[in-house]
Amino acid sequence: GTVRAYRGNETSKRRIEISPARNRELVTRTMKRAAANPQGFWNEIIYSEGEKRSFVNFVKPLVKDGKVTGVVLAAVSLNELSDLVADISDRLRGTVFILAGKDKVIAHPNLTSSHPEQTAQTPLVKIGRVGDLVLGQFWSAATYSLELVPALKEIDVRHTEIAGQRYIFTSRTITDYGEPPWVVGGYVDAQTAEAPLQNARRSALFGLGAILIGAMLAIYLGRQIARPIRNASKGIAQIAELDIAHVKALAGSRIAELDAQAKAFNNMLGALRWFALYVPKSLVSRLIRLGGQEIVSQQREVTVLFTDLAGFSTASEKMTAVETADFLNRHFALLGSCVEAEGGTIDKFMGDALMAFWGAPDPQDDHAARAIRAAQAIATAVRRDIEDRVERGEPPVRVRIGLHSGPAVAGNIGAPERMNYTVVGETVNVAQRMEQLGKEIAPDANVIVLATENTILASKIPNAGESAGPRSVKGMEKSLEVFRVAVD
pLDDT digits (tens, 9 = 90+) for 330-361: 888 899 899 989 999 888 888 889 999 999 88
Q: From residue 455, give the alpha-carbon distance in Å to each of 117, 354, 445, 480.
A: 69, 19, 22, 12
Element (H, E) at 72: strand 67-77
Which residue from 417, 20, 486, 55 is spatially nearest to 255, judged by alpha carbons?
Answer: 55
Q: How confident is the model at residue 308 (pLDDT cuts 50, 70, 90)?
A: very high
Residue 36 reports pLDDT greater than 70:
yes
Residue 247 reports pLDDT greater than 50:
yes
Q: What is the rounded CA–CA span in Å between residue 400 and residue 390?
A: 19
Which residue from 88, 51, 87, 42 is spatially nearest to 225, judged by alpha carbons?
Answer: 42
Q: What is the rounded CA–CA span in Å between residue 412 and residue 154?
A: 62
Task: Answer yes or no: are the C-beta atoms of 169 and 161 closer than 8 Å.
Answer: no
Q: What is the rounded CA–CA span in Å between residue 412 and residue 421?
A: 4
pLDDT in tens, 436-472: 999 889 888 889 999 999 999 999 999 898 999 999 8
**Exposure string (b/e) for 163-190, b if CB count within 10 Å is 16 or more?**
eeeebbbbbbbbeebbeeebbbbbbbee
Residue 344, CA atoms < 13 Å, CB-side half-sphere: 34
Beta bridge partners of 482: 452, 469
Task: Give the residue-averaged pLDDT of 7-33.
Answer: 61
Which residue from 487, 274, 303, 245 is spatially nearest to 377, judged by alpha carbons?
Answer: 487
Task: Give the residue-averaged pLDDT of 20-27.
Answer: 67
Residue 243 reports pLDDT greater than 90:
no
Residue 135 reports pLDDT greater than 90:
yes
Q: From residue 106, give the alpha-carbon distance in Å to each of 26, 53, 57, 95, 126.
A: 19, 12, 12, 14, 9
pLDDT of residue 201: 45
Element (H, E) at 427: helix 426-441
> Could you tell me the sign of the dihedral formed by the alpha carbons of 332, 334, 340, 342, in that order?
negative
pLDDT of residue 208: 47
What residues contact residue 264 under an 8 Å CB cut-off, 6+ apart?
6, 8, 9, 10, 13
Instruction: Decide: pTM greater than 0.85.
Output: no
Residue 286 reports pLDDT greater than 70:
no
What residues contact residue 317 under an 8 Å CB cut-off, 6+ apart?
none
The DSSP call for residue 151 is G
Which residue from 196, 227, 214, 47 is spatially nearest to 121, judged by alpha carbons?
Answer: 47
Q: What is the rounded CA–CA span in Å between residue 17 and residue 261?
A: 17
> Could you tell me the sign of the dihedral formed by the alpha carbons of 107, 110, 113, 119, in that order?
negative
Q: What is the rounded CA–CA span in Å between residue 190 and residue 188?
A: 6
Q: What is the rounded CA–CA span in Å between residue 286 and residue 344?
A: 13
Task: Answer yes or no: are the C-beta atoms of 261 and 228 closer than 8 Å.
Answer: yes
Q: Which of 153-167, 241-255, 423-437 has the lowest mean pLDDT?
A: 241-255
Q: From residue 213, give the alpha-carbon distance in Å to each of 95, 218, 255.
A: 10, 9, 19
Task: Give the residue-averaged pLDDT of 115-119.
Answer: 90
pLDDT of residue 284: 62
Residue 204 reports pLDDT greater than 60:
no
Residue 329 reports pLDDT greater than 70:
yes
> Could you tell me the sign of the dihedral formed by the alpha carbons of 356, 357, 362, 364, in that order?
positive
pLDDT of residue 139: 92
